[in-house]
Amino acid sequence: MSAPLTILRPGLLTTVQDLGRAGHQHMGVPAGGAMDDVALRLANLLVGNDPGLAALETTLQGPALRFEGETVIAVTGADQSPTLDGKPLPPWRAVRVRAGGELAFGAPRSGCRAYLAVAGGIDVPRVLGARATYLPARIGGLEGRALRAGDELAIGETPVRSRTRGLHVDVVPRYEGTLRLVPSGQFASLQPNARTRFLHEEFRVERRSDRMGVRMEGPVLGFREPMELLSGGVAHGTVQLPPDGQPIVLAADRQTTGGYPRLGEVCTVDLPSLAQLRPGDTVRFTTIAPEEARRLYLERERRIAALSLALRSTR
- Residue 29 Cα to chain centre, angstroms: 17
User: Which letter, b or e, does each residue of 98-108 get, where b requires 16 or more Cβ atoms within 10 Å of its Cβ?
Assistant: eeebbbbbeeb
| Three-class secondary structure of residue 240 per DSSP | strand
Q: Which of 36, 123, 151, 265 forms a contact with another protein (CB under 8 A)?
A: 265
Q: Would you tell me how many other CB atoms lie within 10 Å of the CB of residue 297?
A: 13
Compute the 3-state secondary structure of the chain and give helix, strand, coil in percent, each to the nearest 5: 20, 30, 50
Determine the residue type at 172: V
Q: Which of 3, 79, 294, 304 forms a contact with another protein (CB under 8 A)?
A: 294
Stretch that binds another protein, among 199-207, 216-224, 226-234, 272-280 (CB under 8 A): 226-234
Cα dihedral sign for 104, 107, 113, 114?
negative
Taking the complex as a whole, the smallest distance from the CB of residue 78 to another protein amounts, in Å, to: 24
Q: Which of 81, 184, 191, 308 forms a contact with another protein (CB under 8 A)?
A: 184
Residues contacting another protein: total by CB under 8 A: 42
Between 39 and 127, name the residue whose CB sits nearer to another protein: 127
φ, ψ dihedrals at 200, nearest 5° = -125, -15
Q: Which of 26, 87, 109, 168 forms a contact with another protein (CB under 8 A)?
A: 26
Secondary structure in 3-state letters for 105-124:
CCCCCEEEEEEEEECCCECC
127 binds another protein (CB under 8 A): yes
Between 170 and 291, name the residue whose CB sits nearer to another protein: 291
Q: Which of 5, 234, 263, 274 forms a contact with another protein (CB under 8 A)?
A: 234
177 binds another protein (CB under 8 A): no
Between 151 and 270, name the residue whose CB sits nearer to another protein: 270
Determine the residue type at 33: G
| Three-class secondary structure of residue 10 per DSSP | coil
Residues numbered 90 to 109 that lie near another protein (CB under 8 A) are none
Between 116 and 263, name the residue whose CB sits nearer to another protein: 263
- Residue 266 Cα to chain centre, angstroms: 14
25 binds another protein (CB under 8 A): yes
Q: For binding to another protein (CB under 8 A), which residues are involved?
A: 22-29, 127-128, 136-139, 182-185, 230-235, 237-238, 255-258, 264-268, 290-291, 293-294, 297-298, 301
